[in-house]
Structure formats: C-alpha cells, structure tokens
Amino acid sequence: MRVLVTGGAGFIGAHIVSALIGRGHEPVVLDALLPTAHHGPPAPPESGFVHGDVRDTTVLSAVLHGVDAICHQAAMVGLGKDFADAPGYVSCNDLGTATLLAAAAEARVRQVVLAGSMVVYGEGRYACPRHGVVRPGPRSAADLAAGRFEPPCPRCGAELVPGLVDEDAPCDPRNVYAVTKLAQEHLTAAWARATDGRAVSLRYHNVYGPGMPRDTPYAGVASFFRSALARGEAPRVFEDGGQRRDFVHVRDVAEANVAALEAVAEREAGVLTAYNTGSGEPHTVGEMAAALATACGGPDPVVTGEFRLGDVRHITADSRRLRRDLGWSSCTGFREGMAEFARAAQRAPGAAQTAGRAARYGTAAHGG
C-alpha cells in the first residue's frame, strides 16, 4: 500500500514511517519542515520525501498521485502560549485538513487515518456518589488559584471519582487546540460522507518517546520534564501533580496507525470511526515526573501549584474498542518506556523557536 504521511518527518510521523516500512508498505512523506519542529534538514528519509505544506494545492495534486491512503499527522499541537496563537492553530489544523481532504477527493483517494486527540473530550469521565456520571464545567481561575484543583459535582458539590472515557462520551473541547482537533474530525467525517470514503480518527493520549521535541512551549508535558532534566533542572509540576493522564509510547502509537491503515479499507463507507489510543495504564503527572527524574538520575520534581487555564484535571482512555476492532495493544510499559525516554535523544528546536509568535506549522507531540 502506498501511503501519504503528512508530517512524516516529525516526532510521531517518523515512527509511523518506520513502522509502515517494517510492514512492507510504501510511505511518502510530506512535511513543511518549519523550524519550530525541525533543527535543520531531517535525517535521510527512509522513503519518498516531499518538502511542502498541506495547504499548498499544487504540492498536494502532485504528491497524491498513486496514493492508496493518507495518514494525516501534520498539525500545530499543544496548548500554546495564549489566544494570539488561535489563527495559527486554525490555519494549520483546520484549513490544512480541509485543503488536504479536498485534494484527496479530487485524486479519488478514499482512505484516511487522522491523528486525533483525547483533548476533544475536555474533562474526563467523573462519577458522583449521589448523582452518578456527571460532567463538570471548566474550572475557574479563582478555584485554581486557591488550590482547589479537583472539579466538584456540578449538582451537589461533592467530591468526584475519575474514570475512563470511551469514544461515545460527549465532546467538550476546552482550548483552541482542542477545538481544532474536533473540527478536524468533523471535516474528515464530512469528507467521508461526501465521497464514500473510509476514515479513522486515532484519539491519541499523551504520546512520549525517542525523538520528542525539546525546549518548546508546544510539546507535551513529558517533553517539558525531559527538557528540564537534560538541563540539570528539576521538572516543574503544575497544580499538585495529581492530574491523571494516560502516557502511551510513540512506537505503540505508530503501530496503531499501521493497524488502522491496514483495516481502514474494511471500515464502513461514508463513516469516520474514532478510537481512543492509550496505554490503558493511567498515571498522575507527578508520578510521571518522578519516574523520569529517577531514570535520568536528575533532581526530584518540584510541585509548584501553578496552573494553566484550559488544562483539564483528569483525562484517561478506555482503548478497548481499538484492541477489539483492530487487534492492537500497547506493548511498552510505563516504567520501561520512561527509562528508555530518559536515555533517548530529543529533537532539537529550530532557530525560530524563541522568535515570538510567528505563524507555526509543526509536527510535535500530542498530549498535554
């Protein structure tokens, strides 16, 4: 199978390319190579490579020739710095996806696997002892500043018990990045209906592993901590460190993409199917920081009590649908993966990384 991998020179995309080659497929990489994600040219590609942007219709018309399926990884990721980043996110993620899908329709490509994200859910699943499953609203700045990090029951104020989110949970994106990821899914679903295409969205949880970018405000929390430890500094843990996440290794995510690409032709035509893509092994952010610091032999994490508006408290996945439908499972355990990540090289930042808020188009890690 000939597969176009957008963002294929980036962190997750490069691992997908390697996994595709390992399974006998022919990946073609399209990547803008902007300096926020790449420090100089990438390593010699393992497959065909095109330097270009998914918003460039001329590039797309050429690169889609002979392609059987698209693995769409290119995106601007992370929570960002502030709302001034919103136009960049919408342009890269939503305009880019719309342009790509329009070109795919013209080229009669009918199979797409999208890099989705768990951020579309907003807060995770919560149960109140009295009212059952409830949906707390966004946490207020006043509560966060006072150290009240756990969202209470919206009906009685009781303490809630967090649980696993399945794909049928309502979506409630809480920041600009999350909104764009949900819009990508809606665009892809609309494309599938209009073209009798077949589409899968893999809703990544917190992806980490070798090649993760460093020293960038647009990467995930694992990258922040690893970058600090590489500088000999203690990881700075926001809130009280009790936020629950699902940290999934990048090689497992790459294998999930290959499994989805191999199965997408068998999916129902005109439909997008979403799959949570997590390890199934929730850990707190504090636990992750401690495990990484121990594996690096670095200073212990510092719990700061700081917070970011737009962050959610707990979000962990139920990935049973992916295991059941595609036969995929996470193979890298938390301790093993963090030990490897502590030794692995990170992707160096580009020169423009500290050059303000110019428009960005990158391929960094999902999750926050």
Q: Which residues have a catalytic role annotated?
A: 177
Beta bridge partners of 46: none
Burial of 326 (0-12, 13-18, 19+ CB in 10 A): buried
| Cα distance between residue 304 and residue 292, in whole Å | 17
Q: Strand (E) positions, 135-258? A: 161-165, 198-204, 206-208, 236-237, 244-245, 247-249
Contact between residue 361 and residue 92 where contact means Cβ atoms under 8 Å apart: yes
Instruction: Of 358, 341, 339, 76, give the one whose Cα is nearest residue 227.
Output: 341
- Say which DSSP state 160 is in: P
| Cα distance between residue 214 and residue 350, in whole Å | 10
Task: Tell how strand 236-237 and strand 302-303 pair up.
Answer: parallel
Contact between residue 8 and residue 254 where contact means Cβ atoms under 8 Å apart: no
SS3 336: helix
Phi/psi at 153 (5° precision): -60, 130
Locate 312 and state its tokens.
């959610």
Phi/psi at 239 (5° precision): 55, -135
| Cα distance between residue 106 and residue 333, in whole Å | 42
| Cα distance between residue 246 and residue 44, in whole Å | 32
Give the CA angle between residues 16, 114, 5 to the nearest 5°: 40
Locate 142 and state its tokens.
């006043």
Q: How many CB atoms lie within 10 A of CB 214?
A: 19
